[in-house]
C-alpha cells in the first residue's frame, strides 16, 4: 500500500494503544518525540487510567487498591479454598483441550485458550472465571470492566536467554497481567520478577522514556516495537530499587501492572511452571471503563481462536508452522513432567486432540 494512504491510519493510532516506533513513523519520529509526543501520551494515558481506577474502586477492597497502586503488584497466597484449588489443578492435568505452543529462542510457552470449547472440557476453569471476587479484582487492576483474556499456560525453559528474561515494560501505559500459579514458582523454574514502584510515571521515568523515544528503541527489536528494555544497572539512576523475585507457592495469585519493569526469572533448562494466565489491555486514553460481560468475553476468546486457525492456514500455505502452533499431547506431558515438586506428574496428562504437526508482603 502506498505510504500516503497509511497516514490516516498512523494518525488514528496516536489515539490508541499503538506503541511501535518502527511501524508508525509518527511514533518513531525523533522530532515529534523531542517536542514531547511520547511523554505526552504517557501522561495522558496515566491520567485516564487513574480516573478509571477511581470509578472502579467499588470492585476491590481498599487495602488491595492502595497496595496495587503504590507498588504495582499484588501477591495473594492461598487464593482459592484448598478443595477448589485441588480440583482446578487436577483439571489442568486431566482435561482434554487444544494445546498451542510458541517458542522464543528455545523456551516453549504452551497455552490452552479458555474459549467455549476448552471451558466445556474444563468446568473447574469455568468455575474460576465465574468467581465474582476474582474477576472484579482483575478488572479493577486492569482499569476496565472487560473480562481479561484467560489461558491455561505452561512455560518450559530452554537453555538460551529468551527475550522475556530481560527487564522490560510491556507498553507505554498501565496494563494488567495475572498468574494464578498451579505449581510452585521459584528459582527452580523461573519466578516472576518485578521492580517495585517502577509503574509510576515519575520525572526520572519520563526523562528516560523521552531518551528512548528519541532513539526509537534502536539497538533492540523489542524496544523498537514499543516494549522498552532496561538494564539492571540503570534502575538506580531512575530512583528505583533492585528487582524482586516472587518466589511463591502453588495457589498464589500474582497481579502486576506491566507498565512497570518486570521479567521472567532465570531457570535451569527444561524446568517448567504451570499457571492460569490472564492479560488485559484497553485503549489507554478512554476516561470511562469499557463495559464487559462473561458472554462478551467468550466472544472475544472465540475471535482469538478463529485468529489462531487463520494463522494456521496461512502458515500451512507457506509450509511453516504458525507462531502459535498446535502441538500434540506429548508436548504437554513433557512440560508437566518438569514441574518442581510438589507437581502434577502423578496425575493424568492433558489429552490434546492434536496428533500432528525474596517474597513480597502478602495482601490477604
E strand segments, the chain: 73-76, 100-104, 107-113, 149-156, 176-181, 192-194, 244-245, 252-257, 262-264, 272-280, 325-326
Q: Residue 8 sits in a domain of what CATH number?
A: 2.60.120.620
- Specify if 361 maps to a domain: no
The C-alpha cell at 128 is 474460576
**CA-to-CA dists, residue 81 to 85, 113, 322, angstroms:** 6, 24, 38
On whether the pTM is more than 0.85, the answer is: yes
- Specify if 350 maps to a domain: no
- Specify if 353 maps to a domain: no
Encode pLDDT of 118-135 as tens digits.
888 889 999 999 999 999
Q: What is the pLDDT of residue 352?
A: 33
Encode pLDDT of 244-273 as tens digits.
999 999 999 999 999 999 999 999 998 999
- Specify if 352 maps to a domain: no
Low-confidence ranges of the chain (pLDDT < 50): 344-364
Q: What is the pLDDT of residue 326?
A: 92
Q: What is the pLDDT of residue 52?
A: 98
- Specify if 359 maps to a domain: no
- Specify if 354 maps to a domain: no
Residue 273: domain span: 3-336
- Specify if 201 maps to a domain: yes
Domains in the chain, number: 1
- Specify if 360 maps to a domain: no
Q: What is the pLDDT of residue 342?
A: 62
* Measured distance CA(173)–CA(260) in Å, rounded: 9
Amino acid at each position: 500500500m502506498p505510504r500516503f494512504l497509511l497516514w490516516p491510519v498512523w494518525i488514528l493510532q496516536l489515539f490508541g494503544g499503538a506503541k511501535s516506533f518502527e511501524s508508525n513513523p509518527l511514533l518513531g519520529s525523533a522530532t515529534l518525540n523531542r517536542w514531547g509526543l511520547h511523554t505526552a501520551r504517557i501522561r495522558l494515558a496515566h491520567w485516564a487510567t487513574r480516573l478509571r481506577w477511581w470509578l472502579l474502586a467499588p470492585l476491590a477492597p481498599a487495602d488491595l487498591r492502595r497496595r496495587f497502586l503504590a507498588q504495582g503488584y499484588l501477591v495473594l497466597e492461598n487464593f482459592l479454598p484448598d478443595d477448589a484449588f485441588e480440583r482446578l489443578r487436577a483439571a489442568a492435568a486431566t482435561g482434554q483441550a487444544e494445546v498451542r505452543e510458541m517458542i522464543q529462542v528455545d523456551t516453549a510457552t504452551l497455552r490452552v485458550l479458555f474459549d467455549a470449547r476448552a471451558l466445556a472440557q474444563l468446568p473447574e476453569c469455568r468455575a474460576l472465571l465465574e468467581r465474582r471476587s476474582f474477576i472484579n479484582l482483575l478488572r479493577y487492576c486492569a482499569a476496565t470492566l472487560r473480562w481479561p483474556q484467560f489461558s491455561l499456560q505452561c512455560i518450559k525453559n530452554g537453555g538460551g536467554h529468551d527475550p522475556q528474561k530481560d527487564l522490560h515494560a510491556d507498553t507505554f501505559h498501565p496494563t494488567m497481567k495475572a498468574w494464578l500459579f498451579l505449581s510452585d514458582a521459584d528459582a527452580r523454574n523461573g519466578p516472576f520478577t518485578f521492580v517495585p514502584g517502577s509503574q509510576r510515571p515519575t520525572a526520572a521515568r519520563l526523562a528516560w522514556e523521552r531518551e528512548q523515544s528519541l532513539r526509537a528503541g534502536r539497538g533492540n527489536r523489542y524496544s523498537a516495537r514499543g516494549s522498552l528494555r532496561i538494564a539492571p544497572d540503570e534502575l538506580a539512576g531512575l530512583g528505583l530499587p533492585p528487582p524482586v523475585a516472587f518466589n511463591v507457592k502453588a495457589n498464589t495469585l500474582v497481579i502486576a501492572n506491566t507498565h512497570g519493569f518486570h521479567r521472567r526469572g532465570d531457570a535451569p533448562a527444561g524446568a517448567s511452571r504451570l499457571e492460569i494466565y490472564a492479560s488485559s489491555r484497553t485503549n489507554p486514553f478512554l476516561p470511562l471503563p469499557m463495559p464487559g460481560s462473561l458472554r462478551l468475553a467468550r466472544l472475544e476468546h472465540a475471535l482469538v481462536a478463529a485468529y489462531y486457525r487463520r494463522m494456521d492456514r496461512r502458515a500451512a500455505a507457506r509450509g511453516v508452522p504458525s507462531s502459535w502452533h498446535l502441538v500434540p499431547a506429548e508436548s504437554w506431558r513433557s512440560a508437566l513432567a518438569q514441574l518442581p515438586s510438589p507437581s502434577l506428574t502423578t496425575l493424568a496428562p492433558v489429552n490434546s486432540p492434536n496428533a500432528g504437526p525474596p517474597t513480597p508482603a502478602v495482601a490477604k
